[in-house]
Structures are given as C-alpha cells and as structure tokens.
Amino acid sequence: MTDNDSIQQLAKLDDEFMRMALREAAAAAARDEVPVGAVFVKDGRVIGRAHNMRETLNDPTAHAEMLAITQAAEALGAWRLEGVVAYVTLEPCAMCAGALVLARVARLVYAAADPKAGACGTLYNIVQDERLNHRIEMTVGVLADESRAILQAFFRKKRIRDS
C-alpha cells in the first residue's frame, strides 16, 4: 500500500466516522439541544458516541465530547484513551479540549471551527500546546459544510421560535 493509498483510506474512515457524529448532532437538534455530536473510535471500533445533553440533563458539562469520553473510558476500562480518535462536529471548547488532553486522546478530527469558543486552533490551541504534557494530532474541516448547515438551521429555527 502506498502512502497515497493510506491517506485515501484514512480520509474515507474520517468521513465515515464524522457522518456518525453528524447523526449524533441531528439527534441533539431533535431534542432541542445545540447540535454537536461526538464519536470516539479505537482500532476502527466505536467505543463512545454522544450528543450535547446540557438542556436535557441541566448540566453545563454535558457536552458531546465529555459524554463520549466517559463512554470510551468505560469501554476500555481505563481513563487513558491512548490510540483513540475523537470525531466531533464542532471544534471543542476549552473544557472539552482540556479533557481530550487529560484523557490522552491520540487524534482529534473536527468538522466546523467555532469562532466563539473554539479551543483547538481558533481562539486557543489547547490540544497542541507544547507547555502541556500531551499533544493531540488534529485533522480539521472534515464535512465542515454539513456540520455548519446543521448548526445554522438549528439557530435559525430557534431565532424564529423565540421571536
């Protein structure tokens, strides 16, 4: 297998798992939650998947990433998520980026950048900060248009309903 074949295979997997995360985001929207989804994968197997549940649980920490991290740790029986890839539909915030670093996630793939709270390259870059003891490989922009469309439709509908 050539390097080009490996890159194409990785891109195909990234698309596949991001589509799962987008389905989680759609499930969040259906519950009137901000539509963010996360899927955690180890060795090609999903070990955690979640969507935002802050409103449902009345919990400010119930972000998709935080819920999926907990599931992944339970699935592995360990808090260190070494070798795990996190797929998230929106750039993680500072809390979630910090949790990804603390969990030792190997790679983060996110769809849309978050200009108001993004902590993985937009406002901050916590996951690659050299002052921390762990850095995460990143792939940015996978299915970003699809993610943005879900978010924009959600907030458009919310503005109409709230006016």
State residue 1's pLDDT score: 60
Question: For 56-85, b where at least 16 C-beta lie within 10 A, e where not — what string?
Answer: eeeeeebbbbbbbbbbbbebbeeeebeebb
Mapped onto helix, strand or coil, the DSSP state of residue 103 is coil
Higher pLDDT, 147 or 158: 147
State residue 4's pLDDT score: 79
Q: What is the value of pTM for the model shown?
A: 0.95
Question: For 147-156, b where at least 16 C-beta lie within 10 A, e where not — what string?
Answer: beebbeebee
Residue-wise pLDDT for 53-71, tens only, equals 999 999 999 999 999 999 9
One DSSP character per residue, 23-62 reads HHHHHHHHTTS---EEEEEETTEEEEEEE--HHHHT-TT-
State residue 162's pLDDT score: 78
Mapped onto helix, strand or coil, the DSSP state of residue 81 is coil
Higher pLDDT, 4 or 40: 40
Residues 107-134, mean pLDDT to the nearest whole number: 98
Residues with catalytic annotation?
65
Higher pLDDT, 161 or 80: 80
Q: Taking Cα atoms as reference points, which of 100, 88, 96 lies closest to residue 39?
A: 88
Residues 85-105, mean pLDDT to the nearest whole number: 98
pLDDT band with cut points at 50, 70 and 90 for residue 26: very high
Residue 163 pLDDT exceeds 80: no
pLDDT band with cut points at 50, 70 and 90 for residue 7: confident
Task: Say how many CA atoms lie within 13 Å of 108 toward its Cβ.
Answer: 33
Helix (H) or strand (E) holding 107: strand 107-112
The strands making up 45-51's β-sheet, listed across from edge to edge, are: 45-51, 37-42, 84-90, 107-112, 137-140
Residue 38 pLDDT exceeds 80: yes
Residue-wise pLDDT for 100-118, tens only, equals 999 999 999 999 999 999 9
Lookup: tokens for 125: 């870059």
